Amino acid sequence: MKRVTSLVVGMVLFVPGVQGGIRLLADRDNAGILDWMPGGFPAQLSSYALMVLVGALLAGWGRKKVA
């Protein structure tokens, strides 16, 4: 069950991270769910990149163990 949870949490982090990063690159004024975050564009973009990285690692780990 822990591995399935890891897979789901990884996907939940990965999808908004990718979508938010693309949105931020297309329109710098539209930060999505990280609009509240101080630091502006660099901090928001790096946070989305971190979400993608952590999500991919968790989903990959969970998928290897589940399949």
Task: Output the DSSP codes for 1-67.
Answer: -HHHHHHHHHHHHHHHHHHHHHHHHH-TT--GGGTT-TTHHHHHHHHHHHHHHHHHHHHHHHHHHH-
Q: Tell me how crowded residue 45 is: count the other CB atoms within 10 A of its CB.
A: 18
Cα gap 31→14, rounded to integer Å: 16
pLDDT of res. 66: 55
Each of the 67 residues of the chain gets a pLDDT tens digit; together they read 888 899 999 999 999 999 999 999 999 988 889 999 999 999 999 999 999 999 999 998 887 765 5
pLDDT of res. 43: 95
pLDDT of res. 50: 97
pLDDT of res. 67: 55
Total residue count of the chain as it appears in this document: 67
